[in-house]
Structure 1
Amino acid sequence: MKKLFALIVIMLTFSSVQAQTRHVKLSEVKESDQFMYFYFDLFLQEFSYSLKYMVEGEDYYLNMSKESFGKIRLTREEALYYESRGVDTKVRQVVEPFYQFSSDLVRLGQINYGLQRILVSSESSTSAVEEARLKIVAMNRTIEEMYSYLDDIDRIELRNGTDVLRFDTSGVRMWLGRMREKAGEYALILGGLPVKEGLWIDVSNKNPMLFENVSIYGHSDYGGDVSISIEHENRTIIYTVKVSKNGDFSLPYSFDELGEYRIYAGQRVDDKIEISNVVVVRVRKIPSMFIMDAKFEGIVGEGLEVRGRLVDYYGHPLGGAKIYMNSSEVMTDGEGFFHKEFYSNSPESERISLIFPGDDIHMGANMSVEIEFLKHPVTIFLEASSKKVFLGEEATLKGEIRGVHGEVPISIYMNGGFYKRIQTNGSFEFSVKFDSLGTYTFYALYPGDELHNGARSNMVTISVIKGTEKRSSSFIMVLLALFLLGSLIYWRKHEFKPLRKEKGEEMVKGMKMRDEEFIELIRQKPELPEDVKEAYKLLFERLISSFNLRRSLTPREVLEKLKGMEFHEDLKVVTELHEKEVYGGMKLKDEERELFFQKLQDILEVLGYA
Structure 2
Amino acid sequence: MRKIVVLTILLLLLLLISPIAGARHEAYSVAPSSDEGIYSFFSDVIRDAGICLDKFVDESPDADTRASRLESVVKLAEEESRFYAVKGFESNVSRVVQPFIAPSGGVKQLTTYQLVFLTNYEILKSESDYSAYVEARTAIVKMRSGADAINSSLDRIELIELRNETSILIFNVSDLSERLIDVYALIDHYERLLEQYEIEAPAFEEDILVVAVSDEHPLLYEEITIHVYAKNISTISLFIDNEAHSLKNLTSDLQKKHRFEKPGEHDIYAEGTTVDGKDIKSNIVKVDVSEIPTFIVLSSQYSALLNESVKISGLIVDYYGKPLHAVNVTVEAGEKETVTSDVRGRFVFYGTRSSEGYLNVSAFYPGNDTYKSSSANISIFFSRFPISLHIAANTTGINVNETVNFRGSVSGISTNYTIPLSIFVNDRGDGTITAENNFEFTLPFSQSGTYEVYTLFHGDSVFKDAKSNEVTITVTEKPFFQKESFIKEIITNNRESNILFYLFLLLLVAIVSFFIGLYAHAIKKKIPLALLFTGIYARTFKRMISALREIRGAKDARHRTRIHAFRDKLIAPLLLILMYFYTLILKLSGHSSKEKEAEQGNESPEKSGIVVANEEVGKGTNDEAPEVKKLEDFDIGEAYRLLSDATIAQYDLGKSLTPRELSEVIDNKNEPFTGAFRDVTAIHERVFYGCMAPVDGEEERYFNEIGDILRYFKG
Instruction: Provide the rounded CA distance (Å) in 1 between the counterparts of 2:387 and 2:47.
Output: 50
Q: Name the structure 2 match of 1:300.
A: 306
Q: Name the structure 1 match of 2:341.
A: 333
Q: Name the structure 1 match of 2:262.
A: 257
Q: Are the structure 2 counterparts of residues 294 and 52 from structure 1 closer, same or farther at C-alpha, using a change threshold of 3 Å?
A: farther
Give, in angstroms, the shift of residue 204 of structure 1.
2.5
Q: Are the structure 2 counterparts of residues 373 and 356 from structure 1 closer, same or farther at C-alpha, using a change threshold of 3 Å?
A: same
Q: Deviations over 1:370-428 (max 9, x none)?
A: 0122456899xxxxxxxxxxxxxxxxxxxxx99875599xxxxxxxxxxxxxx9989xx
CA contact (8 A) 1:112 1:139 kept: yes
CA contact (8 A) 1:296 1:306 kept: no
CA contact (8 A) 2:238 2:245 kept: yes
Matched, 1:142 2:146: yes
Q: Name the structure 1 match of 2:404.
A: none
Q: Name the structure 2 match of 1:466.
A: none
Moved more, 58-67 or 370-379: 370-379
One-letter amino acid of the counterpart of residue 129, structure 2: S
One-letter amino acid of the counterpart of residue 100, structure 1: A
One-letter amino acid of the counterpart of residue 216, structure 2: K
Q: Which aligned pairs between 1:461-472 and structure 2 lie closer than 5 A?
A: none
Question: What are structure 2's unaligned runs of at least 5 residues?
Answer: 1-6, 15-22, 389-409, 418-434, 439-455, 469-715
Q: Deviations over 1:35-71 (max 9, x none)?
A: 1111111212221222222222222111211111111
Give, in angstroms, the shift of residue 72 of structure 1.
0.8
Q: Name the structure 1 match of 2:358.
A: 349
Q: Name the structure 2 match of 1:462.
A: none
Matched, 1:314 2:314: no
Q: Name the structure 2 match of 1:153.
A: 157
Give, in angstroms, the shift of residue 34 of structure 1.
0.7
CA contact (8 A) 2:225 2:257 kept: yes
CA contact (8 A) 2:298 2:314 kept: yes
Q: Name the structure 2 match of 1:282.
A: 288
Instruction: Provide the rounded CA distance (Å) in 2 between the counterparts of 1:179 and 1:265.
Output: 29
Matched, 1:211 2:221: yes
Give, in angstroms, the shift of residue 453 of structure 1.
10
Give, in angstroms, the shift of residue 155 of structure 1.
2.2
CA contact (8 A) 1:346 1:451 kept: no
Q: Name the structure 2 match of 1:201.
A: 211
Instruction: Provide the rounded CA distance (Å) in 2 between the counterparts of 1:352 and 1:243.
Output: 59
One-letter amino acid of the counterpart of residue 192, structure 2: L
Q: Deviations over 1:66-117 (max 9, x none)?
A: 1111111111112123334555432122111211111111111111110000
Q: Deviations over 1:283-339 (max 9, x none)?
A: 223333321137643333321122213333233416332425266132323444443
Q: Deviations over 1:338-386 (max 9, x none)?
A: 433222344432323444444344333333210122456899xxxxxxx
Q: Which aligned pairs between 1:197-596 and structure 2 lie closer than 5 A?
A: 197-221=207-231, 227-231=237-241, 236=243, 238-243=245-250, 247-267=252-272, 274-293=280-299, 296-315=302-321, 316-317=323-324, 319-325=326-332, 328-335=336-343, 336-374=345-383, 405-406=414-415, 451=463
Q: Which aligned pairs between 1:173-192 and structure 2 lie closer than 5 A?
A: 173-192=177-196
Q: Deviations over 1:155-178 (max 9, x none)?
A: 222212232222222333333322
Instruction: Provide the rounded CA distance (Å) in 1 between the counterparts of 2:386 and 2:368.
Output: 44
Q: Are the structure 2 counterparts of residues 374 and 22 from structure 1 closer, same or farther at C-alpha, using a change threshold of 3 Å?
A: farther
Q: Name the structure 2 match of 1:166.
A: 170
Moved more, 333-342 or 145-154: 333-342
Q: Which residue, out of 116, 119, 126, partners 1:117?
A: 119
Q: Are the structure 2 counterparts of residues 21 and 317 from structure 1 closer, same or farther at C-alpha, using a change threshold of 3 Å?
A: same
CA contact (8 A) 2:114 2:143 kept: yes
Instruction: Provide the rounded CA distance (Å) in 2 between the counterparts of 1:455 and 1:22.
Output: 47
SS in structure 2 opposite 1:149? helix
CA contact (8 A) 2:12 2:25 kept: no
Q: Name the structure 2 match of 1:607.
A: none
CA contact (8 A) 1:203 1:214 kept: yes
Task: Select the structure with the greater relative contact order (CA < 8 A; seq sep ≥ 6).
Answer: 1
SS in structure 2 opposite 1:241? coil
Which structure dedicates a bigger proportion of its chain to helix? Answer: 2
One-letter amino acid of the counterpart of residue 111, structure 1: Y
Q: Are the structure 2 counterparts of residues 73 and 333 from structure 1 closer, same or farther at C-alpha, using a change threshold of 3 Å?
A: same
CA contact (8 A) 1:200 1:276 kept: yes
Instruction: Provide the rounded CA distance (Å) in 1 between the counterparts of 2:189 and 2:233.
Output: 21
Q: Are the structure 2 counterparts of residues 20 and 110 from structure 1 closer, same or farther at C-alpha, using a change threshold of 3 Å?
A: closer
SS in structure 2 opposite 1:95? helix
Instruction: Provide the rounded CA distance (Å) in 2 between the counterparts of 1:187 and 1:156.
Output: 35
SS in structure 2 opposite 1:302? coil
Percent identity between matched residues is 24
CA contact (8 A) 2:140 2:187 kept: yes
CA contact (8 A) 1:138 1:217 kept: no
Q: Are the structure 2 counterparts of residues 206 and 348 from structure 1 closer, same or farther at C-alpha, using a change threshold of 3 Å?
A: same
Give, in angstroms, the shift of residue 144 of structure 1.
2.2
Instruction: Provide the rounded CA distance (Å) in 2 between the counterparts of 1:453 and 1:161.
Output: 54
Q: Are the structure 2 counterparts of residues 7 and 94 from structure 1 closer, same or farther at C-alpha, using a change threshold of 3 Å?
A: same
State the TM-score, normalizing by the size of structure 2: 0.48
Moved more, 90-99 or 80-89: 80-89
Q: Are the structure 2 counterparts of residues 143 and 99 from structure 1 closer, same or farther at C-alpha, using a change threshold of 3 Å?
A: same
Instruction: Provide the rounded CA distance (Å) in 2 between the counterparts of 1:268 and 1:88.
Output: 59
Q: Name the structure 1 match of 2:91.
A: 89
SS in structure 1 opposite 2:247? strand
Q: Are the structure 2 counterparts of residues 178 and 225 from structure 1 closer, same or farther at C-alpha, using a change threshold of 3 Å?
A: farther
Matched, 1:21 2:29: no
One-letter amino acid of the counterpart of residue 372, structure 2: M
Instruction: Provide the rounded CA distance (Å) in 2 between the counterparts of 1:66 and 1:6.
Output: 24
Instruction: Provide the rounded CA distance (Å) in 2 between the counterparts of 1:23 and 1:370.
Output: 36
Instruction: Provide the rounded CA distance (Å) in 2 between the counterparts of 1:240 and 1:376.
Output: 74
Question: What are structure 1's unaligned runs of at least 5 residues?
Answer: 13-18, 380-400, 409-422, 427-445, 457-610
Instruction: Provide the rounded CA distance (Å) in 2 between the counterparts of 1:215 and 1:295.
Output: 46
Give, in angstroms, the shift of residue 208 of structure 1.
2.6
Instruction: Provide the rounded CA distance (Å) in 2 between the counterparts of 1:210 and 1:6.
Output: 35
CA contact (8 A) 2:106 2:150 kept: yes
Q: Are the structure 2 counterparts of residues 71 and 125 from structure 1 closer, same or farther at C-alpha, using a change threshold of 3 Å?
A: same
CA contact (8 A) 1:159 1:165 kept: yes
Q: Deviations over 1:179-233 (max 9, x none)?
A: 222112222322221223422111223233322332222323369985432227x
CA contact (8 A) 1:297 1:304 kept: no
One-letter amino acid of the counterpart of residue 131, structure 1: E
Give, in angstroms, the shift of residue 137 of structure 1.
3.0
Q: Are the structure 2 counterparts of residues 157 and 333 from structure 1 closer, same or farther at C-alpha, using a change threshold of 3 Å?
A: closer
CA contact (8 A) 1:226 1:267 kept: yes
Q: Name the structure 1 match of 2:76.
A: 74
Q: Name the structure 1 match of 2:553.
A: none
CA contact (8 A) 2:67 2:108 kept: yes
